[in-house]
Amino acid sequence: MTFQEVMTQLEAFGDAQTKKTLGVHGAKEPYFGVKVADLKKILKKTKKNHELSLELFATGNSDAMYLAALCADESKMTKAILNQWADQAYWYYLNEYAVPWVAGDTDFGFELGLEWIDSDKEQVVACGWSALASFAAVNTDDRLDIQAYSKLLDRVEKTIHQAPNRLPYVMNGFVIAIGSYVPELTEKAKKVASTIGKVSVVMATGNCKVPLALDYIQKVEDKGRIGKKRKTARC
């Protein structure tokens, strides 16, 4: 599909109720309000397409930006592109999921994540914690810097309750990811989760809850899925 064909299809898939919901959660114009299931229908036709992903993200259209991340070719991604994307990922669909997923699928996702969590921009920090979690989820443990991840758990434990806005949600998710995907750090992640306890985040709607990290990791453990890696961070 060409860029224009994709944009036409996105507009056709736009749904008024979905657009209203996404707007409540943080999406801003321009966007059509496309369900993720419909984005994946387009993805089946575009498959991975580096140039198309760059064109889509550059539109500033939230639906197109999310699709850009889904069809991005991680093998052709550069740090410069992802740094630009992180700067433009203005709401949590993009900075907690879409952009960090792509970063996590690259060979330099860990390095970028470390840089991003030290940013003075909140949305970039969110990208960082999510990218670090995604990198751990898709890479075998022998490719992970276990000591560095252990120190990151310490950092979360010390700072999560002082972090602004939605960052505690993302940091809580990091603890869950490390506890679930890195067996060597599961017990430490559980201890950190226990210390953290309940994480309070002001969400867009009352239906959104922050999972208790300890309970979540325990459920993964009970299912015998600790250390089960993902093929890709994107879903």
Q: What pLDDT, in 10s, does the model give residues 122-178?
A: 999 999 999 999 999 999 999 999 999 999 999 999 999 999 999 999 999 999 999
Name the pLDDT band for 204 (thresholds 50, 70, 90). Answer: confident
Report whether 27 contacts 62 (CB < 8 A). yes
Looking at the structure of the chain, the number of domains it has is 2
Q: Do residue 139 and residue 208 come from a single domain? A: yes
Q: Do residue 107 and residue 218 come from a single domain? A: yes
Q: For the residues 108-122, what does the mean pLDDT come to?
A: 98
Q: Do residue 107 and residue 29 come from a single domain? A: no
Query: Is 208 a member of any domain?
Result: yes
Q: Do residue 8 and residue 108 come from a single domain? A: no
> Which ranges constitute the DSSP H helices of 72-212?
79-88, 92, 99-105, 109-116, 122-138, 146-159, 167-181, 186-196
Q: What is the DSSP string of 110-128?
A: HHHHHHHTT-SSHHHHHHH
Query: Is 223 a member of any domain?
Result: yes
Q: Do residue 24 and residue 133 come from a single domain? A: no
Judged against a pLDDT cut of 60, whether residue 220 lies above it is answered with: yes
Judged against a pLDDT cut of 80, whether residue 208 lies above it is answered with: no
Question: In the chain, what percentage of residues exceed pLDDT 90?
Answer: 95
Q: What is the pTM of this model?
A: 0.96
Q: For the residues 42-70, what does the mean pLDDT come to?
A: 98
How many CA atoms are closer than 13 Å to the CA of 226, on its beta-carbon side? 17
Q: What is the CA radius of gyration of the chain?
A: 18
Judged against a pLDDT cut of 90, whether residue 189 lies above it is answered with: yes
Tokens of residue 152, six digits: 């990151």
Which pLDDT does position 60 carry in this prediction? Answer: 98
* Type of residue numbered 16: A
Q: How many CB atoms lie within 10 A of CB 14?
A: 16
Q: Do residue 96 and residue 63 come from a single domain? A: no
Looking up tokens 């506890």 gives: 179
Q: Do residue 18 and residue 107 come from a single domain? A: no
How many CA atoms are closer than 13 Å to the CA of 218, on its beta-carbon side? 9
Say how far apart CA 160 and CA 153 lie, in whole Å.
10
Q: For the residues 212-222, what does the mean pLDDT come to?
A: 98
Say how far apart CA 103 and CA 3 lie, in whole Å.
23
Query: Is 84 a member of any domain?
Result: no
Query: Is 131 a member of any domain?
Result: yes
Which pLDDT does position 223 carry in this prediction? Answer: 98
| Segments forming the whole domain that contains residue 55 | 1-72
Domain final residue, candidates 72, 101, 122: 72
Q: Do residue 50 and residue 139 come from a single domain? A: no
Q: Do residue 115 and residue 179 come from a single domain? A: yes
Q: Do residue 123 and residue 213 come from a single domain? A: yes
Which pLDDT does position 203 carry in this prediction? Answer: 79
* Type of residue numbered 100: P
Query: Is 62 a member of any domain?
Result: yes
Q: Which stretch of DSSP H or E encloses residue 64?
A: helix 62-71
Query: Is 78 a member of any domain?
Result: no
Which pLDDT does position 38 carry in this prediction? Answer: 98
